[in-house]
Amino acid sequence: MLKKKFKSLDKNYSAEIFLKKPDKYREIEKISSSLENIITMGSCNSYTPASFKRNNLSIDLTKFDRIIEFDKENKLITVEAGIKLSELFNFTLKHNLWLPQIPGYPTITIGGAL
């Protein structure tokens, strides 16, 4: 577990937090079953400190960035929370699909956008 200082993009809030970067689902399950003060973290491109808070543990989900399933006929895509919008759009454009409403920054993760 790392201890790291983060600042919001608007620079109005900063905090020293505990950070974990798991790469397996069982690590997330183990962390979440043993602690209460947990916040998930994507690419940290929010203007507000949505993914970190003083004395909490933030779990960085950027390693969970896969496309799990694609049903072209029904236009359904199952992805992990850490996939960046730019990566998802590169995939969807190959199939002539586009999301009509998107946040403005391409490195925002799906989990962070939600």
For 93, counting Cβ atoms within 10 Å of its Cβ (0-12 exposed, 13-18 middle, 19+ buried), the class is exposed
pTM, whole model, 2 decimals?
0.82
The radius of gyration computed from the CA coordinates of the chain, to the nearest angstrom, equals 16
What is the C-alpha to C-alpha distance for residues 51 and 59, in angstroms, rounded to an integer? Answer: 9
Position 47 scores a pLDDT of 74
Q: Give pLDDT tens digits along the chain (114 positions).
A: 788 898 888 888 889 999 999 999 999 888 887 777 888 888 887 777 888 888 889 999 999 999 999 999 999 999 999 999 999 999 999 999 988 777 777 888 998 887
Q: Are strands 67-71 and 57-60 parallel, antiparallel or unpaired?
A: unpaired
Q: Which residues contact 111 (CB under 8 A, 6 or more apart)?
A: 40, 42, 61, 80, 81, 82
Cβ atoms of 75 and 36 within 8 Å: the answer is: no
Position 1 scores a pLDDT of 78
What is the C-alpha to C-alpha distance for residues 50 and 14, in angstroms, rounded to an integer? Answer: 12
